[in-house]
Amino acid sequence: MKPVLVDSNVILDVAWNDPRWSAWSEKMLGTLAEQAPLLINPVIFAEISVGYERIEHVNALVPRDFFGREGIPDEAAFLAAKVFRT
């Protein structure tokens, strides 16, 4: 199976024990991890990082042996940055 890009919301549901979504998100992560490599990209890492003071905490949340890292095209990074435009 091809790798699966995991959205930041799914990771944060589990990390923050969201009462509505954490059980579903945790189940999906476990199921998908058995079938395919899980990936995040720099934008997803950045989105997750906002709620944490130290990079070590974020790296513990998304360990490289569970979540592979994938780059993104310049065009995607450019468009993602527009979210932060004031």
The domain locations on the chain are 4-84
Which one is predicted more confidently, 1 or 7?
7
Go through the chain and tell me how many residues it has: 86
In the predicted model, what is the mean pLDDT of the chain?
92
Quickly tell me which residue has 């990390």 as its tokens: 15
Residue 76's pLDDT is what?
A: 82
- pLDDT tier at 59, thresholds 50, 70, 90: very high
Q: 16 near 50, Cβ under 8 Å?
A: no
Q: What is the Cα–Cα distance from 44 to 56, expressed in whole angstroms?
A: 16
Q: Is the pLDDT of residue 40 over 90?
A: yes
Q: Is the pLDDT of residue 2 over 90?
A: yes
Q: 81 near 75, Cβ under 8 Å?
A: no
Q: What is the Cα–Cα distance from 63 to 8, expressed in whole angstroms?
A: 14
